[in-house]
Amino acid sequence: MRREAWACDMPMAESWNPQVCRTLCDTHVTDRDSVHILSPAPRLPLFSSRSEVTPPLRSRAQEGAGLVLVVTNCQEKIQHWMKVDNDYNALQERLSTLPDKLSYNIMVPFGPFAFMPGKLVHTNEVTVLLGDNWFAKCSAKQAVGLVEHRKEHVRKTIDDLKKVMKNFESRIEFTEDLQKMSDAAGDIVDIREEIKSDFEFKGKHRIAHKPHSKPKTSGIFEADFANDVKSKDLLADKELWARLEELERQEELLGELDSKPDPVVADGEDTTSSEEEKEDPKTDMNAMCQVTDSLDPSSCHTDITNAQLFNGQVNSQLNCSLNGSVSYQNNEDDDEEEENGDDGDNENDHDTLGAGDNSIPTIYFSHTVEPKRVRINTGKNTTLKFSEKKEEAKRKRKNSSGSGHSTQELPTIRTPADIYRVFVDIVNGEYVPRKSILKSRSRENSVCSDTSESSAAEFDDRRGVLRSLSCDEATWSDASESILEEEPQENHQKKLLPLSGTLEAFSGTVIEKEFFSSSLTPHQAIAHPVLPTIPERKEVLSHVPEETVKRVSRFKAARLQQKN
Partner 1 sequence: MPGRGVHPEDSAVPVPAGGRTLHKEDLCNKIKEQKVVVDELSNLKKNRRVYRQQQNSNIFFLADRTEMLSESKNILDELKKEYQEIENSEKSSIKK
- Phi then psi for residue 387, to 5 deg, are -60, -40
| Minimum CB distance to partner 1 smaller for 19 or for 319 | 19
Q: Does 117 bind partner 1 (CB under 8 A)?
A: yes
Q: Are 393 and 470 in contact (CB under 8 A)?
A: yes
Interacting stretch for partner 1, rule CB under 8 A, among 13-21, 41-49, 169-177, 470-478? 13-21
Name the minimum Å distance from CB 87 to partner 1.
Answer: 4
29 binds partner 1 (CB under 8 A): yes
- Number of C-beta neighbours around residue 336 at 10 A: 11
Q: Cβ distance 372 to 425 under 8 Å?
A: yes
Q: Which one of residues 89, 348, 502, 548 is an interface residue with partner 1 (CB under 8 A)?
A: 89
Binding segment (CB under 8 A) for partner 1, from list 110-118, 344-352, 369-377, 406-414: 110-118
Among 80, 94, 153, 405, which residue interacts with partner 1 (rule: CB under 8 A)?
A: 94
Size of the site for partner 1 (CB under 8 A): 26
Q: Return all residues near 235 (Cβ < 8 A) that are at least 6 apart.
A: 243
Nearer to partner 1, 6 or 225 (CB): 6
Binding span for partner 1 by CB under 8 A among 21-29, 256-264, 511-519, 543-551: 21-29
Quote the least distance from Cβ 85 to partner 1, whole Å. Answer: 8
Among 56, 109, 498, 508, binds partner 1 (CB under 8 A): 109
104 forms part of the interface with partner 1 (CB under 8 A):
yes
Based on CB atoms, which residue is closest to partner 1, 157 or 482?
157
If DSSP codes are grouped into helix, strand and coil, which group holds residue 138? strand
**Toward partner 1, which CB reaches closer, 108 or 265?**
108
- Find out whether 510 and 441 touch, Cβ atoms under 8 Å: no
Stretch 57-86 residues interacting with partner 1 (CB under 8 A): 82, 86
Question: Residues 6 or more apart from 216 whose CB is under 8 A from it?
Answer: 207, 208, 209
CB atoms within 10 A of CB 487: 19
Contact status, residue 176 vs residue 64, Cβ threshold 8 Å = yes
Give the distance, in angstroms, between the CA of residue 145 and the centroid of all CA atoms in the same chain: 63
Q: How many CA atoms lie within 13 A of 187 on its CB side?
A: 4
CA distance 538 to 489: 11
In whole angstroms, how far apart are CA 276 and each of 265, 271, 282? 17, 9, 11
Beta carbon nearer to partner 1, 112 or 402: 112
Span near partner 1 by CB under 8 A; candidates 109-117, 242-250, 430-438, 524-532: 109-117
State the minimum distance, in angstroms, from the CB of residue 50 to partner 1. 29
37 binds partner 1 (CB under 8 A): no
- Per-residue interface string for the shown chain with partner 1, residues 406-445, x marking contact by CB under 8 A: ----------------------------------------
**Nearest Cα to 212, choosing from 313, 357, 87, 79?**
357
Name which of 10 and 107 has its Cβ closer to partner 1.
107
Q: How far is the CB of 101 from partner 1 (least distance, A)?
A: 10
Pick 101 or 209: Cβ nearer partner 1: 101
**Contact status: 128 vs partner 1 (CB under 8 A):** no
Q: Which of 6, 12, 14, 28 binds partner 1 (CB under 8 A)?
A: 28
- How far apart (Å, rounded) are the C-alpha atoms in residues 556 and 545? 12
Q: Cα separation of 264 and 339, whole Å?
A: 8
Check residue 16 for interaction with partner 1 (CB under 8 A): yes
SS3 456: helix
Is-contact 332 345, C-beta < 8 A? no
Least distance between partner 1 and beta carbon 89 (Å): 6
d(CA 42, CA 25): 27
108 contributes a contact to partner 1 by CB under 8 A: yes
Do you know the residue count of the chain?
Answer: 564
Q: Does the footprint of partner 1 cover residue 91 (CB under 8 A)?
A: yes
Q: Does 99 bind partner 1 (CB under 8 A)?
A: no
Nearer to partner 1, 89 or 561 (CB): 89
- Cβ proximity of 355 and 440 under 8 Å: no
Collapsed DSSP state (helix, strand, coil) of residue 118: strand
Contacts of 163 (CB under 8 A, 6+ apart): none
348/340 Cα distance (integer angstroms): 17
Residues at the site binding partner 1, with contacts judged by CB under 8 A: 1, 5, 16, 20-21, 24-25, 28-29, 82, 86-87, 89-91, 94, 104-109, 112, 115, 117, 120
